[in-house]
Copies of this chain bind each other. A is one copy, B any other.
Amino acid sequence: MAYVYDFTQGNKDQKDLLGGKGANLAEMTNLGLPVPPGFTISTDACRAFLAAGTEPDGLEEEVDAQLRALEARMGRRLGDAADPLLVSVRSGAKFSMPGMMETVLNVGLNDESVVGLATRNGDERFATDSYRRLLQMFGSTVLGVDSEAFGDRLDELKAARGVASDAELTAEDLRGLVEDFKVIIREHTGADFPQDPREQLRRAIRSVFESWNTPRAALYRRQERIPDDLGTAVNVQAMVFGNRGETSGSGVCFTRDPATGEPGVYGDYLPNAQGEDVVAGIRNTIPLAELARLDRASYDSLLAIMEQLERHYLDMCDIEFTIEEGRLWMLQTRVGKRTAEAAVRIACEMVAEDYIDRDDALLRVSGHQLIALMFPRFAPDPDRHPVATGMNASPGAAVGRAVLDTETAVAWAERGEAVILVRKETNPDDLAGMLAAQGVLTSRGGKTSHAAVVARGMGRTCVCGAEAIEIDLVNRRFQVRGGPVVEEGDMISIDGTTGEVFLGAVPVSDPDVVRRLEGEEVDDPVAVSVARLLGHADGIRRLGVRANADTPEDARRARRFGAEGIGLCRTEHMFLGERRHLIERLIVADDEAERQEALEKLEPLQRQDFGEILEAMDGLPVTVRLIDPPLHEFLPDLTDLEVRVALEDERHEEDRRDHVLLEHVRRLHEHNPMLGLRGVRLGIVIPGLFHMQARAIASAMADRIEAGGDPRPEIMVPLVVHERELTLVRGELEKVIGEVSADRGLDLHIPIGTMIELPRAALLADRIAATADFFSFGTNDLTQTVWGFSRDDVEAAFLPAYRDRGVFPVSPFESIDVDGVGKLVEIGSRLGRETKPGLHVGVCGEHGGDPESIRFFAEAGIDYVSCSPFRVPVARWEAARAVLARD
């Protein structure tokens, strides 16, 4: 087994073995580009080292052999006293982990070879400075000396000499510094700096291996979802120097503009500097174009190489180079990172240039990038500063008058005002206010708080947990701690992408992408490209895309965005205003007659709700979920009411109505409402509610048919956990539908299916499938029960600690937990289809709009996802990418 590969032996596809940097150095070497020679120690060697705690057998011999070959090619020997070869030792993992792991330059210098280097180049200062840098880098990274010890000494020296920059120190100064650094190393480690160049190399390599497992590297990997067991490769390469005077320098460049995607050279150059200096930003760089003036030959070579690399990689490349005394060296290349706009523009222009085809273009723009392109945003302004910052809970830019409660939000919105709902936290009572508002700002709660979750679902901008904000409901205003007071009605602006809160109305730029996707004529090339690629995606994907929509407006918007139906129409969101009042009457009814009366008044209202939605989605399926939440959600909060009644009693102002209400609220109170009387359980305990809804759906369908439409409602029963629940409810629903059919003289066919949102339903889906016309996975509730986490409670209490300590990199409510929840989704759909081959299976949880989750659902053979209207284009996009990535 070989552990070490010369740059001539590898290629760009061997990132697993050689890491990203090593693979690309090999690729450039084989393209004949001017790469300083060297070799790569593979990730296999790193893994073997980390497993055993010591270098694997044979590694040292291989490194020796490669080093001898390198020495032969360069005509110099490592540490040679007369003319030493110097090498760099750099980490290079499969996935870029910038700054996370170690680099040691100038390996091979010691007390003797530094003299040879100076003599050979006729530049003592350069040689001594190189040695000083080795001592400093080796001391801190390999030997573990606190790097401040070196920095402090350097600062002292500069102060003593009265100079500001390292460059102003003389060779003499640097010689003294070398001696000082050697003392620091001896004092801190109890041993001298190793003079043996082979030992320097061996220890530098080992140190790069070990840097894979530093806490900061491990934390970075968890955040970036990079597996812990990959290990890093190590690149040993002949040194070239950009700091050899004015004919030398280092730079970074891109083959197209990574911010806009515009074609043409783009980059920065720093004369008389090493690459590390460019990255560190010690001096200001100059635009790459100016290199043409300084060194035309090198500039022309670089441009030719950039074009060659782009044609070779068929993508925009990110390049690092060094010029040593007029000679150009390539030190790194890779496919460059870019903004969402640039990603679209580059991909589409490369299609036009025949570099790639449209499938490739789709693969190059992620769903997350599409999401970024779709959010409204504030026009940039460097002079604008936020007054407070919270969590970026639901992206977008929203502007409106601050309102402090739902009633005000609704009232002001009805008279045409744009409003931002500002609350300590939100609860289901705030739904109407959130719907009415442009955005939501809370002072408590995190990314999975009620406000955040609901706002994301609605596509409303949301900033939550802005803790500096103290709301004063009595005086109708809020105070920003250490900042201004904002009166209700003042204009504010919130940026859901950054979490920033601004005073006043910040101008919003409406994204062309969204306008184009909604069907407007827009010229913006990115918007046009996105629309074109999305059309291409529709031809590729096998996953259907529906929308979660509860109102005719949402349904129409979803349809414009390309939704192929409604996968989740939540009827509880319809119980606002008069409907809410009727639901309350239904709950507190004294007898069956009163209950019946409330139901009879609700039915025509619901019938109208459904009729409008069916009209908006004419010809497409509309899956209506029967009422799901516990009924007490429609009544006042227990604690609030207890306090109110206690105070009324205390003041002898007893209110009989409050007492009655309190009795009912107490009766319905649940310790864990998530696990209480909800969904199908309501349908079994209080059948009238489900019957009313079924009658309204069937009647609305009949209305639409008579009006010449093509209504396709489906009824979805929530929270089924046992096949008998569905059998019982289905029988009753069919009876109701049959009655309406007979009354209207129509044959109303309405498929009846169920949500699979509890573990038992997934585990026994084969039984449930026998009476279900379709399944729809409710992955929100499934996540809550599989993990035993309540979404409402989890964030504030322990999600931050869990992320910090690496239990998960991202909340399982944001991106589906493939291992646990995903396993149940697979079990559930497999079992369901065992009973009913071809059973139509959808997903209607929030995950339906998350790119990673969409990809998982596509691969798991789900028939469709349903997501918020705003996420419909993303789901279409990502579903196609899933097909392409697999093929």
Question: A353 at interface (Cβ–Cβ under 8 A)?
Answer: no
- Of the candidate stretches A289-297, A643-651, A841-849, the one touching chain B is A643-651
In angstroms, Cα B804 to Cα A728, docked, is 12
In angstroms, Cα B781 to Cα A728, docked, is 27
Report whether A786 and B763 are in contact in the complex, using a CB–CB cutoff of 8 Å.
yes
In angstroms, Cα B787 to Cα A670, docked, is 16
Contact of A670 among B675, B784, B790 (CB under 8 A): B790
Question: A684 at interface (Cβ–Cβ under 8 A)?
Answer: yes
- Of the candidate stretches A66-74, A137-145, A410-418, A817-825, the one touching chain B is A817-825
Contact of A788 among B721, B763, B806 (CB under 8 A): B721
Report whether A677 and B798 are in contact in the complex, using a CB–CB cutoff of 8 Å.
yes
Chain A residues numbered 626-656 whose CB sits less than 8 Å from any CB in chain B: 638-639, 642-643, 646-647, 650-651
Chain A residues numbered 782-829 whose CB sits less than 8 Å from any CB in chain B: 784-790, 792-794, 797-798, 801-802, 805-808, 817, 819-821, 823-824
In angstroms, Cα B642 to Cα A647, docked, is 11
Contact of A785 among B646, B681, B788, B797 (CB under 8 A): B788
Copies per assembly: 2
CB-nearest residue of chain B to A644: B646
Report whether A790 and B676 are in contact in the complex, using a CB–CB cutoff of 8 Å.
yes
Which residues of A come within 8 Å of B, CB atoms?
638-639, 642-643, 646-647, 650-651, 670-677, 681, 684-685, 719, 721-722, 724-725, 728, 757-760, 763-764, 781, 784-790, 792-794, 797-798, 801-802, 805-808, 817, 819-821, 823-824
Report whether B673 and A824 are in contact in the complex, using a CB–CB cutoff of 8 Å.
no
Report whether B639 and A824 are in contact in the complex, using a CB–CB cutoff of 8 Å.
no
Report whether B786 and A758 are in contact in the complex, using a CB–CB cutoff of 8 Å.
yes
Which residues of chain B are near A671, meaning CB under 8 Å? 672-674, 790, 792-793
Report whether A684 and B798 are in contact in the complex, using a CB–CB cutoff of 8 Å.
yes
CB-nearest residue of chain B to A820: B760
In angstroms, Cα B793 to Cα A643, docked, is 23
Within the complex, what minimum Cβ distance (angstroms) separates A352 from chain B?
47
CB-nearest residue of chain B to A640: B642
Report whether A793 and B670 are in contact in the complex, using a CB–CB cutoff of 8 Å.
yes
Contact of A758 among B676, B787, B797, B801 (CB under 8 A): B787
Report whether A724 and B675 are in contact in the complex, using a CB–CB cutoff of 8 Å.
no
Which residues of chain B are near A787, meaning CB under 8 Å? 721, 758, 760
Which residues of chain B are near A819, meaning CB under 8 Å? 763-764
In angstroms, Cα B807 to Cα A676, docked, is 16
Query: Given A722-B807, A787-B760 in contact, is the A793-B685 Cβ separation under 8 Å?
Result: no
In angstroms, Cα B719 to Cα A251, docked, is 53
Contact of A675 among B684, B722, B788, B806 (CB under 8 A): B788
Which residues of chain B are near A801, meaning CB under 8 Å? 684-685
Within the complex, what minimum Cβ distance (angstroms) separates A626 from chain B?
16
CB-nearest residue of chain B to A450: B671
Report whether A670 and B759 are in contact in the complex, using a CB–CB cutoff of 8 Å.
no
Which residues of chain B are near A793, meaning CB under 8 Å? 670-673, 675-677
Which residues of chain B are near A764, meaning CB under 8 Å? 819-820, 823
Which residues of chain B are near A646, meaning CB under 8 Å? 643, 646-647
In angstroms, Cα B428 to Cα A671, docked, is 12
* For the complex of A and B, 5 pairs with smallest distance between CB atoms: A675-B790, A672-B790, A760-B820, A758-B788, A677-B797
Report whether B759 and A786 are in contact in the complex, using a CB–CB cutoff of 8 Å.
yes
Which residues of chain B are near A797, meaning CB under 8 Å? 670, 676-677, 681, 685
Q: List 18 A-B contacts (CB under 8 A).
A: A642-B642, A672-B674, A672-B675, A675-B675, A675-B784, A675-B793, A676-B793, A681-B797, A684-B798, A721-B820, A724-B806, A728-B805, A759-B785, A760-B787, A760-B788, A763-B786, A763-B819, A763-B823
Which residues of chain B are near A763, meaning CB under 8 Å? 786, 819-820, 823-824
Contact of A824 among B684, B722, B759 (CB under 8 A): B759
Which residues of chain B are near A792, meaning CB under 8 Å? 670-672
Contact of A650 among B651, B685, B794, B807 (CB under 8 A): B651
Which residues of chain B are near A788, meaning CB under 8 Å? 674-675, 719, 721, 757-760, 781, 785
Within the complex, what minimum Cβ distance (angstroms) separates A442 from chain B?
16
Report whether B676 and A759 are in contact in the complex, using a CB–CB cutoff of 8 Å.
no
Within the complex, what minimum Cβ distance (angstroms) separates A783 from chain B?
9
Within the complex, what minimum Cβ distance (angstroms) separates A454 from chain B?
14
CB-nearest residue of chain B to A670: B793
In angstroms, Cα B673 to Cα A817, docked, is 22
Within the complex, what minimum Cβ distance (angstroms) separates A305 from chain B?
45
Which residues of chain B are near A672, meaning CB under 8 Å? 671-675, 790, 792-793
In angstroms, Cα B794 to Cα A210, docked, is 55
Within the complex, what minimum Cβ distance (angstroms) separates A669 from chain B?
9
In angstroms, Cα B759 to Cα A764, docked, is 14
Within the complex, what minimum Cβ distance (angstroms) separates A643 from chain B?
5
Which residues of chain B are near A823, meaning CB under 8 Å? 763-764
In angstroms, Cα B600 to Cα A16, docked, is 51
In angstroms, Cα B759 to Cα A651, docked, is 51
Within the complex, what minimum Cβ distance (angstroms) separates A125 from chain B?
51
CB-nearest residue of chain B to A672: B790
Which residues of chain B are near A685, meaning CB under 8 Å? 797-798, 801
Q: Which of A671, A788, A802 neighbours the largest number of chain B CB atoms within 10 Å of its CB?
A: A788
Which residues of chain B are near A722, meaning CB under 8 Å? 807-808
Within the complex, what minimum Cβ distance (angstroms) separates A138 from chain B?
33
In angstroms, Cα B818 to Cα A760, docked, is 11
In angstroms, Cα B672 to Cα A784, docked, is 11
Q: Which of A646, A808, A824 neighbours the largest number of chain B CB atoms within 10 Å of its CB?
A: A646
In angstroms, Cα B725 to Cα A31, docked, is 49
In angstroms, Cα B676 to Cα A643, docked, is 25
Which residues of chain B are near A725, meaning CB under 8 Å? 807
Within the complex, what minimum Cβ distance (angstroms) separates A764 from chain B?
6
Which residues of chain B are near A639, meaning CB under 8 Å? 638-639, 642
Which residues of chain B are near A757, meaning CB under 8 Å? 788
In angstroms, Cα B784 to Cα A676, docked, is 10
Within the complex, what minimum Cβ distance (angstroms) separates A251 from chain B?
43
Which residues of chain B are near A650, meaning CB under 8 Å? 647, 650-651
In angstroms, Cα B819 to Cα A823, docked, is 18
In angstroms, Cα B556 to Cα A252, docked, is 76
In angstroms, Cα B643 to Cα A546, docked, is 47
Which residues of chain B are near A786, meaning CB under 8 Å? 758-760, 763, 785
Within the complex, what minimum Cβ distance (angstroms) separates A659 from chain B?
14
In angstroms, Cα B343 to Cα A485, docked, is 81
Contact of A805 among B684, B805, B824 (CB under 8 A): B684
Which residues of chain B are near A805, meaning CB under 8 Å? 684, 724, 728
In angstroms, Cα B650 to Cα A763, docked, is 54
Report whether A798 and B681 are in contact in the complex, using a CB–CB cutoff of 8 Å.
yes
In angstroms, Cα B784 to Cα A721, docked, is 12
CB-nearest residue of chain B to A723: B807
Which residues of chain B are near A684, meaning CB under 8 Å? 798, 801-802, 805, 807
Which residues of chain B are near A638, meaning CB under 8 Å? 639
Which residues of chain B are near A647, meaning CB under 8 Å? 646-647, 650
In angstroms, Cα B18 to Cα A831, docked, is 35
Contacts beyond the supplied A760-B821, A763-B823: 18 A-B pairs with Cβ under 8 Å: A672-B673, A672-B675, A674-B788, A675-B784, A675-B793, A675-B794, A676-B793, A677-B797, A681-B797, A684-B798, A684-B807, A685-B797, A758-B786, A759-B820, A759-B824, A760-B820, A763-B819, A785-B788
In angstroms, Cα B10 to Cα A417, docked, is 87
Within the complex, what minimum Cβ distance (angstroms) separates A122 from chain B?
58
